Amino acid sequence: MTELIINLAIPIGLIILAMITGMIIESRHFQSIRQRESTFRGMPIINEKQFPTDQPIIDSRMVMGSVVVSNDYFKRFLAGLRNIVGGEVRSYVSLLDRGRREALLRMREQYPDADLIVNVRVETSAVSKGGKKEKIGSTEVLAYGTAIKFAGESAGRPSA
């Protein structure tokens, strides 16, 4: 009986705990992402190296943002079940979506006065993938680009 409790209650307890904490953290994170994205709506980011403009550029600098987001037991549980039946692993899609958007936001927050960021690249890598299967992995997302500041009054800068 004791063995059953240890074998059953601890994993299920961890999954439920991770479900509660993970979902609270994730929904708050998305709320913050949406709010900050609307703040930066006026700062376009493009992945082209060249862009047509007749405005003189007074400043340009490299900006980057990176974030490491952790997986949790609940997401891994959902993904593990998905691995059996197949289909889109939604629990990881939302994890990576958070990572990418957060990294892009942190990149923009490095130069809030910029008018435009060009040549933007996004890279993803797995940090602590977990050699042992008991380990919970996490993902790193890095975004970088070149921030441009035009002369004169900014056209589309965030008003806030």
Partner 1 sequence: MKIVNRSPESTADISSAKGTAFKELRWLLLVITLLVVGIYLVIGFVVDMAVVHISFETEAAFFESMNASDVAWGKDDEELRRLDGILEKLTADPSVPPLKYRLQIVEAEEPNAFAFPGGTIGVTRGLLGALKEDEELAFVLAHELGHFQNRDHLRGVGRAVGAGVVFALLFGGEMGSGSTGNLYHHVLHRGYSRNQEEAADRFGVSLVRRVYGNTDGVDRLFQIISDSDELPEWAYMFATHPSPEDRIRDLKAYAEEAE
Q: Which long-range contacts (CB under 8 A, 24 or more apart) does 75-80 make?
A: 75/18, 75/22, 76/136, 77/15, 77/18
Q: Any alpha helices (H) in 9-155, and if so which ranges? A: 10-39, 73-85, 90-109
At 148 the three-state DSSP class reads strand
31 scored as a contact of partner 1 (CB under 8 A): yes
Phi, psi of 62, deg, nearest 5: -80, 135
Instruction: Return the residue of 79, 119, 128, 149 that touches partner 1, per CB under 8 A.
Output: 79
Please give the torsion angle defined by the CA atoms of residues 26, 31, 35 and 41, in that order, rounded to the nearest 10 degrees. 60
72 scored as a contact of partner 1 (CB under 8 A): no
133 scored as a contact of partner 1 (CB under 8 A): yes
CB atoms within 10 A of CB 74: 20
DSSP state of 56: P
Count the residues of the shown chain that bind partner 1, applying the rule CB under 8 A: 48
Instruction: Return the residue of 76, 103, 108, 145 that touches partner 1, per CB under 8 A.
Output: 76
150 scored as a contact of partner 1 (CB under 8 A): no
* Least distance to partner 1, CB of residue 151, Å: 18
90 scored as a contact of partner 1 (CB under 8 A): yes
82 scored as a contact of partner 1 (CB under 8 A): yes
List of residues contacting partner 1 (CB under 8 A):
3-4, 6-8, 10-11, 19, 22-24, 26-27, 30-31, 34, 37-38, 41-42, 44, 46, 51-53, 73-74, 76-85, 90-91, 93-94, 96-98, 101, 133-134, 156
